[in-house]
Amino acid sequence: MAKSTTTKVGSAIGRTIVYIILYVTVSAIVKFLIEVLLPSVHLNAVSYESYIQILLALAFGYLIVSGISLIFYYSLLPKYGHPTATAVRNVMRIIGIGALVAAIAGAVAGGAAGVALGGFIGIVIGFASQQVLGQAVAGMFLLIARPFKINDNVNLVGEDGIVEDVSTLFTTVIKSDGTKVLIPNNAIIGNKIYLKPVQQQQKSS
């Protein structure tokens, strides 16, 4: 199992390196074609170069971010299990894509304006994803710290029930009447967690 996981980590690292090399190579080839080769045959496509480079950056950037998130996933999988590794992978992917969009926006504007625009885009993305990212990070902490487990009888933010699932964004609790309650993980982190005694759990079941 450990050997298989190590192999997957190595494979993810290898793919990420290949994506980076391919991006640099393809970007250089495109630049050569547009700025050197095409003008030599009296074709002018310089005005389209920035758009092509943006598309390349988006495509390869997504692949690179996905590769890096997979490295984290396979590295954490043996010790923390699938739910925690998935939570970390999703958080890394959200952060990576946000940084990618901000960097591309800044590069397009160029100079001081690019820095300002990139920072502004980063702030906008940060505010837009604050709730989701906050829940994902909280879910990651819950999965690592494990203050409660699946099938535990708990009281979370005033909701009594049995823990059915702890995912990246929500913890699912089933109440005594069968109602499923999806509780945002960041709400749980900011409140008291009550773990009910085993005897009480047995009586209620």
Contact between residue 101 and residue 128 where contact means Cβ atoms under 8 Å apart: no
What is the chain's mean pLDDT, rounded? 77
Whether this prediction's pTM lies above 0.85 is answered by no
> At the topology level of CATH, where does 153-204 sit?
SH3 type barrels. (2.30.30)
Contact between residue 155 and residue 196 where contact means Cβ atoms under 8 Å apart: yes
Given the structure tokens 């199992």, which residue do they identify?
A: 1
**Which amino acid type is present at position 180?**
K
- Parse the chain into domains and list their residue ranges: 2-145, 153-204
Please write the tens of the pLDDT for every residue from 120-149: 455 555 554 555 566 667 777 777 778 888
Q: 101 or 199: whose pLDDT is higher?
A: 101
d(CA 111, CA 117): 10
**Which amino acid type is present at position 108?**
V
Output the pLDDT for position 112.
Answer: 47
